[in-house]
């Protein structure tokens, strides 16, 4: 949660001039416009508020109507902090829709001392500004704590400045929340459709979840950004969606496929690609690429096009390893599960042939991590 050295002293600052305020605003506008992650956006907006009114700290709280709580992010990798929607100064500002300036928190009955008592922090002055969505409904609030100027009290000018920031922030956060809801809806749709494709071939229901986790982990190890790795995790479950159009006589055949049957089976890559190729959504465009390219091979002998090496999208190369690893370690209608030793031997043998050698080296270097994922989402066990 919040951490503060109670023995530290404030370093007093001078009020910002108009040109300095504009410089702060322009600096943060670029960051806000470019950020798509809601948690990171909350922290950027909090930093904006802190710098605009010269507070020791500032947090941006959002309302969760399902739990009747306000929540905020205070640091990367830390769980959200939650308080009742009417708790403390922030709760009062949210529930009444009014901005408030508090000169001495400990002389105000609305003050919730819980965080101060648990961290040793000393709250003095407070400024709370609610913000609204496009319909005028309060969806959260800014809370600035401890003014860093000589008088250590927030002013009416601070109220005006943070109110302007709140007006912009409310609409920005509403857009971010709606975007996240859309992505979550797409994710659920993709995972469900992916599971439908797998269930038709009698593969385990957790196959798509495991492939998503393997892909995300390998993407991070390979140096992809957080947003790229997350996008891959969301899109990879659709790699075999084209199987919905493959006849059961082929999908469920217990023995080897004939040449004609295999040619028909290979069309699932193109079918999956055609499902999503016209979408304007980045997530669905990536799903199209993965469906199309996850059977391409590093040496150019794969299908449906025969791409080779870096001609294959990095998402396709990663998903190929994730898909094959899970297929080999799972029992299927046509085979028993392989042992880890057999799988490792196969991956090494196919390094530079089927698979990107760099990615295979990373995968095998961290094989224990992938085995842990395999067991975490296991609906069946790895071969002995």
CA distance 167 to 181: 22
List beta partners, residue 72.
Answer: 81
CA 31 to the chain's CA centroid: 18
User: Quick check: is 297 catalytic?
Assistant: no
DSSP state of 161: H
CA distance 84 to 71: 9
Q: How many other CB atoms are found less than 10 A from the CB of residue 204?
A: 19
CB 92 within 8 A of CB 86: yes
Strand 55-64 relative to strand 81-84, pairing: unpaired
Instruction: List Cβ neighbours of 343 (8 Å cut-off, separation of 6 or more).
Output: 325, 328, 329
Opening angle at CA 326, ends 296 and 188, nearest 5: 90
Q: Which of 243, 266, 277, 335 is catalytic?
A: 243
Residue 272 is encoded by which pair of tokens?
């999956």
CA distance 315 to 183: 18
CA distance 290 to 273: 8
CA distance 141 to 168: 12
Query: What SS3 class is residue 138?
Result: strand
CA distance 37 to 45: 12
CB 325 within 8 A of CB 291: no
Q: How many other CB atoms are found less than 10 A from the CB of residue 205?
A: 11
CA distance 165 to 26: 12
Sign of CA pseudo-dihedral 106, 111, 115, 118: positive
CA distance 122 to 301: 67
CB 24 within 8 A of CB 51: yes
What residues are annotated to the active site?
Answer: 243
């Amino acid at each position: 949660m919040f951490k503060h050295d109670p023995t530290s002293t404030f370093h007093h600052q001078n009020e910002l001039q108009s040109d300095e305020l504009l410089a702060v605003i322009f600096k943060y506008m670029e960051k806000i416009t470019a950020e798509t992650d809601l948690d990171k956006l909350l922290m950027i907006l909090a930093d904006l508020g802190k710098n605009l009114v010269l507070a020791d700290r500032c947090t941006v709280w959002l309302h969760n109507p399902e739990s009747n709580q306000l929540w905020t992010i205070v640091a990367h990798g830390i769980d959200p902090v939650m308080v009742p929607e009417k708790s403390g100064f922030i709760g009062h500002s949210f529930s009444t829709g009014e901005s408030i300036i508090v000169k001495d928190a400990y002389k105000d009955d609305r003050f919730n001392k819980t965080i101060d008592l648990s961290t040793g922090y000393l709250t003095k002055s407070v400024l709370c500004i609610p913000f609204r969505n496009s319909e005028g409904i309060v969806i959260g609030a800014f809370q600035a704590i401890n003014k860093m100027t000589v008088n250590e009290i927030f002013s009416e000018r601070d109220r005006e400045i943070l109110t302007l920031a709140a007006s912009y922030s409310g609409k920005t956060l509403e857009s971010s929340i709606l975007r996240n809801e859309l992505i979550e809806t797409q994710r659920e749709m993709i995972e469900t459709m992916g599971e439908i494709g797998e269930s038709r071939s009698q593969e385990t229901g957790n196959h798509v979840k495991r492939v998503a986790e393997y892909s995300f982990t390998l993407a991070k190890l390979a140096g992809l950004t957080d947003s790229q790795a997350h996008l891959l995790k969301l899109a990879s479950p659709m790699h075999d969606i084209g199987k919905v159009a493959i006849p059961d006589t082929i999908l469920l055949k217990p023995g080897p496929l004939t040449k004609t049957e295999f040619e028909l089976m290979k069309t699932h890559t193109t079918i999956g690609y055609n499902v999503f190729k016209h979408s304007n959504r980045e997530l669905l465009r990536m799903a199209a690429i993965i469906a199309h390219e996850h059977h391409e091979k590093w040496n150019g002998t794969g299908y449906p096009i025969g791409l080779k090496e870096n001609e294959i999208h990095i998402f396709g190369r990663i998903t190929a390893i994730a898909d094959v690893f899970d297929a080999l370690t799972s029992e299927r209608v046509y085979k028993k599960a392989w042992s880890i030793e057999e799988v490792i031997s196969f991956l090494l043998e196919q390094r530079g042939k089927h698979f990107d050698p760099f990615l295979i080296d990373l995968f095998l270097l961290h094989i224990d991590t992938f085995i842990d994922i395999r067991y975490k989402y296991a609906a069946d066990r790895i071969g002995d």
